[in-house]
């Protein structure tokens, strides 16, 4: 039985946390926060860059 690759599990965990913080910012943050430089960076990091992590099905070592 193949073992799980820890790196993919870690990346998916980080992706989940980043996506959660994006949704929190969208729902609860003032416009000042979401349009600030920090807000834009957080929205970017939790958006397009983390979505492909879930498309990866290679979670087992070869």
Q: Supply the pTM of this predicted model.
A: 0.72
Q: Which two tokens stand for residue 58?
A: 């290679």
- The per-residue pLDDT for range 19-47, each reduced to its tens digit, is 999 999 999 999 998 899 999 999 998 88
Spatial separation of the C-alpha atoms in residues 4 and 26, rounded to whole Å: 34
Q: Is the pLDDT of residue 7 over 50?
A: yes
Q: Which two tokens stand for residue 46?
A: 């939790």
pLDDT at 21 (0 to 100): 92
């Amino acid at each position: 039985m193949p073992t799980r690759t820890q790196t993919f599990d870690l990346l998916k965990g980080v992706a989940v946390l980043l996506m959660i913080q994006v949704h929190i910012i969208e729902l609860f943050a003032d416009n000042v926060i979401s349009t600030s430089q920090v807000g834009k960076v957080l929205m970017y990091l939790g958006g397009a860059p983390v979505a492909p992590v879930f498309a990866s099905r290679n979670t087992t070592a070869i």
